[in-house]
Structures are given as C-alpha cells and as structure tokens.
Structure 1
Amino acid sequence: MRPIIAVTGDSLVDPSPIINLNYADMAPQMIKNALLQVGGTPIIVPFPEDPSQIPAVVQSVLPLFSGLVLPGGPDIDPTLYHEEPRPHLGRTTYPKDLFEQALIKATLAAGKPILAICRGLQILNVTLGGSLYQDLATQGPAEQLQHAQTAPGQYPTHHIQIKAGSTLEQLMGSSAYVNSRHHQAVRQLAPGLKVVAQASDGIVEAVEDQAQQQILALQWHPENMWPQDRQQLAPFQKLVDRAQVFREKD
C-alpha cells in the first residue's frame, strides 16, 4: 500500500469562479504530481479559520498520514518570532501559521517525516524557536544574490553548496543549481536543526534535523523543476521512503 502524505493547504486570496464567492482551499499541483510520481498518495489538509479548532483537527488528521509536506505560500506572521511587521512584509495568514505550527509539533512527536519547501522551511524554523529575515532586500546581506528570480519559476537561477555527510548530499551531491522564489529566509537557526546547504551569499538553502531522520527542509522549489531535472524528485522520494518505513513500523 502506498503511504499517505499530508500536504498542508492554503486558501485562494480571490474568490473562486467555481465555488461562487467562497475562498477555496488548495495545494500546489506540482507537489501532488511529484508525490504521485514517487509512490506516495497525497491528501490536502486545510487549516481551520477558527484557531480554537486547531487542536481537535490536528489530533483527528494525525493518524491518517505517514509523512508531511509543508509547501510554499504566504509570509509568516513575525509576532510568532517576537517581532513586529516591517514595511516590506508580504501577506500573512495567521490561522494557517498556527495550524502548521501545531501540526509540525504533533508530526515530530509522532516520529513521522517532514519535507518542508520554501515557506515550509521558514515556518518549521520558527516553530522550533528560530527567526526569519522578514525581507531579504532590506535586511539581508549587503551583497546578495537575486533570491526572488525574474526567470520563469521552473528554471534554475543560482547555485548552492551542500555539506558533506548530509542527507541532502546523498540525494543531490555536493552542489546543485536551483530556482529561487522567496524574499524571506532563515535568520536565526532553531535549536535542533543544522544548515546543510547555502547560497554563495550565505543565505540558508536547506536544513535537516540533527539526527537526519525526520526533517529535510529546502528553500527552493523542487516541485517546479522535476519535469526538467529528475534529480529534483529525490527529496520527494526520500520522504515517501521514510513514510513507508514509518507506516510499516506503526
């Protein structure tokens, strides 16, 4: 049986033309396709608008999946890492932040693997006690790469260096050519995580947990690149393999 992989949902900002004026829950199609390609069965887990419902929803959904994907999406509310919003902060969705934080904690406590992508890396870092650059252009290194690329999103735009001995190195080698669609990034790394890839300007491009067993978090978007670069499927395959091991033990 294929392992079930939960993908946390977002909601469309504009009203859906299909569902009248209701805001529709959604998840990135290319993540769904990547998980199917490597043998997973994805399910979308939408966030409740009412934060009081979060604990019950998390406990209800947790037994249903063996692995979790945290996809890209809107900015993260900076009050969650004890900062007030700066002028260049983008759109935030506070209930989504709270839900993903609760789901991350429950997933890790249950021993299930997590693949985090872009915003997913960021909310993971914040959940575990780290902080972010709210806006790289105004807060990041003086000499930095173009991290919000103007090239089409499926194309690579800058290189990253990957640390020897990491899970990511086993999957992709010592370096990779990746796409880049973000204006936020890890500032202070959370306890229990380690940096395993960086861009040449020092921006964190990937992190793992210290034990290398549950967490692989990437700042780029492999889901957009894999149809042209099959190596970008490797993080999804690793998640599904880990989820299968967890399911067989459970």
Structure 2
Amino acid sequence: MKRPVIAVTADSLVESSEYINENFADFAPRDLKEVILKAGGLPVILPFPEETELVEEVAREMVKLFDGLIIPGGFDVSPTFYGEEPERAMGRTSYQRDTYELALFKAAKEAGKSIFGICRGLQLINVALGGTLYQDLAVQNKESFIQHSQVSYGAFPTHHVKIMENSSLYGLFGEQAYVNSRHHQAIKMLAPELMVTARAVDNVIEGVTTADEQVTAVQWHPENMWRNDKKQFQLFAEFICKCQK
C-alpha cells in the first residue's frame, strides 16, 4: 500500500548552527520523523517563509502535496492572534511560524486533510478556531496545581489524564492515560468547534477534537513515548490510517 505523505511544520533555530554556520536553520523533531515512518507514513518537513506576505499563497500550494498535517511542539503561540498583549511570564514566540501554521491549518482543513496537533500544535489549533490560551498556567490559572512543565527526562510519563468516554482516545487508552508533560501554556477558552477529549486532574485540557475527528490534538508528546508505550504509537498509526483514506 502506498505510504501517505505526512507534512510536519518546521521550527527555526534562532542562533547560528555550528554545522552549517547559518542562522535560522529549519528543523523538526527526530522522534516524530521516526514514528511517522514506523507507522507507515512518509514524512516531509515544511519550513515557514520568512516573508509573511507569502504565507497564504505558499499554504494553498503546499496543501496539494500532502495527505495529512502534523503541527508539533515549539515556542509559545503569540497572543496577538487571540487579541491579547504578552504577559511577563510568556515565553519566546515566533510570529513567522505562527502566521504560516495558521494559514496552513486553514488550507488543510478546507481541503479535508486530516490534522494532528501536538502540545503547541493543540494550542495553535485552538487559536486558529477562535479560542484563547493561558499565557502561563502558574500565573493565570490558580486552579492548576500539578507540574505541567516536567523536570524529569522528557520521554518519561509524569502525570495522568482523564479520557472522555465519548472520544476515540477512550477506545485506545480507556479511562486514563499516563503521559509526559512539557508546557506552561494551555487552552483557556475552548474554540466553539472543538470538543474536549482529555483533561489533567487539575482540569487543564489535554486533548481536543472536532466532531468529525478531521482535527485531533493532544497536549503531551507521544512522539517521545512511542518506543516504550504501544498506545502512544497507536495514536500515530490511527492518524496515518485516516490519511490513507
């Protein structure tokens, strides 16, 4: 069976690389590339244009080249895209990447392509569909009490999430999943088009989907856990299966 092409949006270094001696080298997570291949997909990396006026045109053309889109983790989403100014506790942002991913998400969704968000990807999807974010959980959400930005090795699970019974995640994980956690931002106001599929014990949203499941996302990093957790691998296998259809 032909492998579906799975696009992964790239990040960009903000300092010079010692290997190619160039600023702003584009990159994507190695673990994500490997799990896409293992699950039967063909990964391609999409760098963002530096000139933001090109993003709409590039996104429309790029979406013709792939079967599914994964928006991975990375820097904070700029609050300008949900009508706020940056709080002092907010982290680094990349306006160019935000602009491109928002345009690419819109083009892929309109084209009927399956979309999967990871960590920052979940947050960007929520913003793209009209939601807002906590710029920093510790400052803005006093009800959040667990460690969402873990100190442990990033591939290790550190906290549990409750899975909603009416979600596809429930069929995979059951009532709860044990996940890793590397974020300080989270969904504040859920976008109207999204439904919650998972929550942490402090009620922070950890998974979302659209009603037709064209768009799904999780707040943890399954790409770092799949080698030791078959259920995390199955997340990618099921996504790639959807892309084949």
**TM-score when normalising by structure 2:** 0.97
Percent identity between the two aligned chains: 50
Aligned residue pairs: how many?
A: 244
Report what 1:126 is aligned to: 127
In 1: Cα distance, 2:23 partner to 2:134 partner: 33
| 1:220 matched to 2:220 | yes
In the alignment, structure 1 residue 202 sits paired with structure 2 residue 178: no
Find the residue that maps to 2:92 and give its secondary structure: coil
Letter aligned with residue 51 of structure 2: D
Contact kept, 8 Å, 1:141 with 1:201, in 2: the verdict is no
Residues 136-155 of structure 1 mapped to structure 2, 5 A cutoff: 136-155=137-156
The separation in 1 between residues aligned to 2:14 and 2:53, in whole angstroms, is: 22
2:65 counterpart of 1:64? yes
Aligned residue for 2:6? 5
The aligned counterpart of 2:34 is 33
- Partner-residue secondary structure (3-state), 1:208: strand
Task: Quote the offset at 1:141 in angstroms.
Answer: 3.1
Task: Return the letter of the residue paired with 2:100.
Answer: F
1:248 is matched with none
Q: Which amino acid aligns with 2:233?
A: L
Q: How far off is 1:142 after superposition?
A: 3.4
RMSD of aligned residue pairs (Cα, Å): 0.9
Which contiguous aligned blocks of 4+ residues in structure 1 show a shift greater than 6 angstroms? Answer: none
- SS of equivalent residue, structure 1 residue 114: strand
> Which letter does structure 2 place at the counterpart of 1:234?
Q
Alignment pair present for 1:117 and 2:105? no
Q: CA deviation at 1:168?
A: 1.1
d(CA) in 2 for partners of 1:192, 1:7: 23
> SS at the partner of 1:141?
coil
Q: CA deviation at 1:179?
A: 0.4
Partner of 2:52: 51
User: 1:181 is matched with which residue?
Assistant: 182
Q: Which residue of 1 aligns with 2:19?
A: 18
Q: 1:239 deviation in Å?
A: 1.3
How much does 1:166 deviate? 0.6
Alpha-carbon deviation of 1:143?
A: 4.7
1:206 touches 1:217 (CA, 8 Å); kept in 2? yes
Q: Which runs of 5+ in 1 are unaligned?
A: 246-250
TM-score by length of 1: 0.96
Unaligned ranges ≥5, structure 2: none
2:89/2:136 contact within 8 Å kept:
yes
